[in-house]
């Protein structure tokens, strides 16, 4: 059996994928025959071998393959393999392909979307659809918003279900008895611009260089100035230094979201590391002001050397 999940809404794709995996685990508790591949990173030969190989355990096999249309993958070779193995009609294996993107004019894409394969297109939700989704999720967490509060929440998140999920869970955790007002939502929910920037600082605080570099390029491509991002990094490092050296959370006067991230990141850094990174930031700031340095490249190097 082949299942093909694709579309722009990565949130609902991920939730559907998780639903299928959990259903499989309930019926096949060993989990031995559940295999995940990211074809933008893993070798295609390993994927082929996982599909072909026989199992020592008499359980149905579940193989998940993401990013099947990665530039490094020859889709024709996958198509030929699937036809030879006749996976579509097989009953001892479930093969799930995942594509985070729109429809493609591609023979493999056409094959995956034809019967007997099961395919589902997860399009990005429109405004009213995202609002309905948010209402259902709020209700499931016993959270109620009044008046303009729900409209503000949805518009602040830009119809992004990942953001909405995160912000709604935050509202639920900070919930005061009764209904949440718009002013309370405004206090707890950060704006789109702040979210994009905190993707960068969050990745840095977690020492995830790859994610931080991707977030940096996303922020700059979205219109953020490298000089301002450098200043933000300095602000974040100083806050973490103050936190580690004994400053009381109330005295920092930070948004609860930011404060929570500092608490999570504290264990990842020593005071010496933070001081060294802050010194590099100061040096780069001086270089920005006195030389014709390529700012995006220089900031990328700073992050990669962290």
Q: How many domains does the chain have?
A: 3
Q: What percent of the chain has pLDDT over 70?
A: 89
Say whether both 101 and 163 belong to one domain. no
Say whether both 232 and 140 belong to one domain. no
Say whether both 197 and 241 belong to one domain. yes
Closest CA to 3 of 84, 72, 52, 62: 62
Give pLDDT, residue 287: 86
Helix axes 256-265, 226-244, angle to 10 degrees: 70
- Using CA atoms of 303, 199, 230, 288 in order, give the dihedral in degrees to the nearest 10: 70
Say whether both 228 and 181 belong to one domain. no
Q: What percent of the chain has pLDDT over 90?
A: 13
What pLDDT, in 10s, does the model give residues 75-93? 888 999 998 888 777 678 8
Lowest mean pLDDT among 93-107, 214-228, 253-267, 268-282: 253-267
Say whether both 251 and 210 belong to one domain. yes
Say whether both 208 and 297 belong to one domain. yes
Say whether both 114 and 135 belong to one domain. no
Give pLDDT, residue 257: 61
| 207 has a pLDDT exceeding 70 | yes
Q: Which of 121, 146, 171 is the last residue of a domain?
A: 121
Domain around 299: 192-304
Say whether both 268 and 182 belong to one domain. no
Say whether both 196 and 256 belong to one domain. yes
Whole-structure pTM value: 0.63
Say whether both 176 and 248 belong to one domain. no
Give pLDDT, residue 253: 62
Q: Please, what is the average pLDDT of the chain?
A: 82
Say whether both 174 and 266 belong to one domain. no
Say whether both 115 and 150 belong to one domain. no
Gap between the Cα atoms of 299 and 302, Å rounded? 5
What pLDDT, in 10s, does the model give residues 267-302? 888 888 888 888 888 888 888 888 888 888 888 888
What pLDDT, in 10s, does the model give residues 167-206? 888 888 776 556 788 888 877 776 555 666 667 877 888 8
What pLDDT, in 10s, does the model give residues 116-173? 999 999 998 888 899 999 999 998 888 888 778 888 888 877 678 887 888 888 888 7
Gap between the Cα atoms of 241 and 278, Å rounded? 10
For the chain, give the DSSP string.
-EEEEEES-HHHHHHHHHHHHHHHHHH-TT-TTEEEEETTTS-HHHHHHHHHPPPSS-S-EEEEEE-TT-TT--HHHHHHHHHHHTGGG-SSEEEEEEEEB-----HHHHHHTSTTSEEEE-PPPPHHHHHHHHHHHHHHTT--B-TTHHHHHHHHTTT-HHHHHHHHHHHHHTPPSSPBPHHHHHHHPPPHHHHHHHHHHHHHHTT-HHHHHHHHHHHHHTT--HHHHHHHHHHHHHHHHHHHTT--HHHH---HHHHHHHHHHGGG--HHHHHHHHHHHHHHHHHHHHS---HHHHHHHHHHT-
Q: Which of 106, 121, 136 is the last residue of a domain?
A: 121
What is the CATH classification number for the domain harbouring 292? 1.20.272.10
Two tokens, residue 11: 């949130």
What is the CATH classification number for the domain harbouring 151? 1.10.8
Q: Which of 121, 144, 177 is the last residue of a domain?
A: 121
């Amino acid at each position: 059996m082949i299942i093909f999940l694709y579309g722009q809404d990565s949130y609902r794709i991920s939730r559907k994928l998780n639903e299928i995996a959990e259903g499989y685990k309930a019926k096949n508790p060993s989990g031995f025959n559940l295999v995940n591949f990211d074809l933008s990173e893993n070798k295609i030969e390993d994927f082929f071998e996982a599909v072909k190989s026989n199992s020592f355990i008499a359980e149905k096999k579940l193989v998940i393959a993401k990013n099947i249309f990665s530039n490094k993958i020859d889709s024709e070779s996958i198509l030929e393999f699937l036809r030879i193995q006749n996976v579509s009609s097989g009953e001892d294996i479930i093969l799930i392909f995942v594509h985070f993107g729109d429809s493609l004019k591609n023979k493999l894409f056409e094959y995956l979307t034809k019967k007997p394969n099961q395919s589902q297109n997860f399009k990005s939700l429109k405004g009213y659809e995202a609002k309905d989704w948010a209402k259902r999720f709020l209700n499931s967490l016993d959270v109620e918003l009044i008046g303009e509060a729900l409209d503000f929440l949805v518009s602040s998140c830009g119809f992004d279900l990942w953001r909405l999920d995160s912000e709604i869970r935050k509202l639920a955790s900070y919930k005061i008895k009764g209904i949440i007002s718009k002013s309370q939502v405004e206090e707890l929910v950060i704006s789109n611009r702040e979210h994009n920037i905190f993707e960068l600082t969050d990745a840095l605080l977690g020492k995830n260089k790859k994610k931080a570099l991707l977030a940096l390029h996303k922020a700059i491509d979205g219109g953020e100035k490298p000089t301002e991002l450098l200043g933000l990094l300095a602000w974040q490092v100083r806050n973490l230094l103050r936190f580690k050296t004994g400053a009381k959370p109330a005295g920092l006067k930070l948004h609860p979201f930011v404060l929570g991230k500092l608490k999570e990141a504290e264990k990842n850094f020593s005071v010496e590391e933070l001081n060294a990174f802050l010194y590099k930031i100061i040096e780069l700031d001086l270089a920005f002001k006195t030389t014709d340095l390529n700012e995006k490249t220089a900031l990328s190097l700073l992050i990669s050397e962290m």
